[in-house]
Amino acid sequence: MYEQITRNKWKSFFLIIFFLGLIFVLTWVFGELTGLGAHGLILAAIIAILMTFGSYYASDKIVLAISKAKPIEKKDYPYLYNVVEGLAIAAGLPKPRCCLIDDTAPNAFASGRNPRNSVIVVTKGLLEKLNRVELEGVIAHEMAHIKNYDVLVQTLAVVMVGIVALLSDWILRSFLWGGGKRKGRSRGGGGAAALFILIAILLATLSPLVAQLLRFSISRKREFLADASGALLTRYPPGLASALRKLAEDREPLEVANKATAHLYIVNPLKDIKGAVNKLFSTHPPIEERIAALEKM
């Protein structure tokens, strides 16, 4: 359990370092091509942060509105509240708000930029189809997302995807605009300059794709991490494993979920994950792998 937590933390850390490396290379190429130095990075970072700031700051409100989640009160759902309160105590966090989606497809997610502003959302189907131990497993997984600041990590990943996309775009555009400037700067003869340009084009075309893949990979590592640290909260991995099995067997898609919010849920609510390519672009690891990891604890 502890090893899995440490391993997944390191993995997501290295992915982010790799991401930063990619951004660094792109910045350098952009600087070489246009003579603007690191200004490209600063501009791209500012734009990307501005674009995502709203979604970070109001992450809970936006996603609640999209998912049609309604706040609920303790007297109506004492069962859910007791489970959430218990796990908040176990995690040493303030109790998150609870919301309900009126849908029979069993699923859940957590959001909010920090533990103080966090919210846990479950569907009606989840409460109906899981027993108490399984529900505790799912809520513990969501509590772990909150404790690990996963909204922040996800936002960071989106910002980095944005920076890469902008820089790549500008590198390609610089060929259209600044041909003269470049000719003046090429020192080492035509061959090397041509090679550099070729590499720059290749890099600028492939980077956005690589960035997306990195983002999905980070998301998958965070799911594994939340499974492991959730199991540490309940000290009972089979609870979550059995819940995941039930959620996987349920073939009903969740109507209020879409491509933009799918990555939040504990299991993919769109239920269309098959094939190796889809696996690369998936925000969630295959459920069988998650269950296997839980059973190993």
Partner 1 sequence: MIAFWVLLVLIAIAVFSFVGIYNSLVSLRNRCDNAWAQVDVQLRRRYDLIPNLVETVKGYAKHEREVFERVTEARTKAISAATVKEQGEAENMLSGALKSLFAVVENYPELKANQNFLMLQEELAGTEGKIAYARQFYNDSVMKFNLKQQVFPSNIVAKMFNFKEKEYFEIEEAEARRPVEVKF
- Minimum distance, C-beta of residue 229 to partner 1, in the bound complex (Å): 12
Among 39, 173, 183, 235, binds partner 1 (CB under 8 A): 235
- Minimum distance, C-beta of residue 139 to partner 1, in the bound complex (Å): 11
- Minimum distance, C-beta of residue 240 to partner 1, in the bound complex (Å): 16
Does 85 participate in catalysis according to the annotation? no
Residue nearer to partner 1 on the CB measure, 11 or 95: 95
Residue nearer to partner 1 on the CB measure, 14 or 79: 79
| Active-site position among 128, 142, 223, 295 | 142
Among 39, 132, 185, 274, binds partner 1 (CB under 8 A): 132
The DSSP string of 168-230 is HHHHHHHHHH-HHHHHHH--SHHHHHHHHHHHHHHHHHHHHHHHHHHHHHHHHHHHHHHHHHH
Query: How many chain residues interact with partner 1 (CB under 8 A)?
Result: 16
With beta carbons less than 8 A apart as the criterion, state whether 120 and 141 touch. Answer: no
Half-sphere exposure of 11 (CA within 13 A, CB side): 18
Phi-psi domain of 107 (left: phi exceeds 0; alpha: psi -120 through 50; beta: other): beta
Which residues have a Cβ under 8 Å from the Cβ of 172 and sit 6 or more positions away? 201, 204, 205
Q: Which residues, 244 to 283, sit near partner 1 by CB under 8 A?
A: none
Question: Beta strand pairing status for 119-123 and 97-101?
Answer: parallel
Give the closest residue to 183 by CA, choosing from 18, 33, 21, 22.
33
Half-sphere exposure of 13 (CA within 13 A, CB side): 7
CA distance 85 to 89: 6
Residue nearer to partner 1 on the CB measure, 116 or 235: 235
Which two structure tokens, joined as six digits, stand for 202?
A: 């290749």
- Minimum distance, C-beta of residue 2 to partner 1, in the bound complex (Å): 11
* Phi then psi dihedrals of residue 122, to 5 deg: -125, 160
Per CB under 8 A, 193 contacts partner 1: no
Per-residue x/- mask for partner 1, residues 46 to 85, rule CB under 8 A? --------------------------------xx-xxx-x
Among 17, 50, 89, 292, binds partner 1 (CB under 8 A): 89
Q: Which residues are catalytic?
A: 142
Sites of contact with partner 1 (CB under 8 A): 78-79, 81-83, 85-87, 89-92, 132, 136, 233, 235
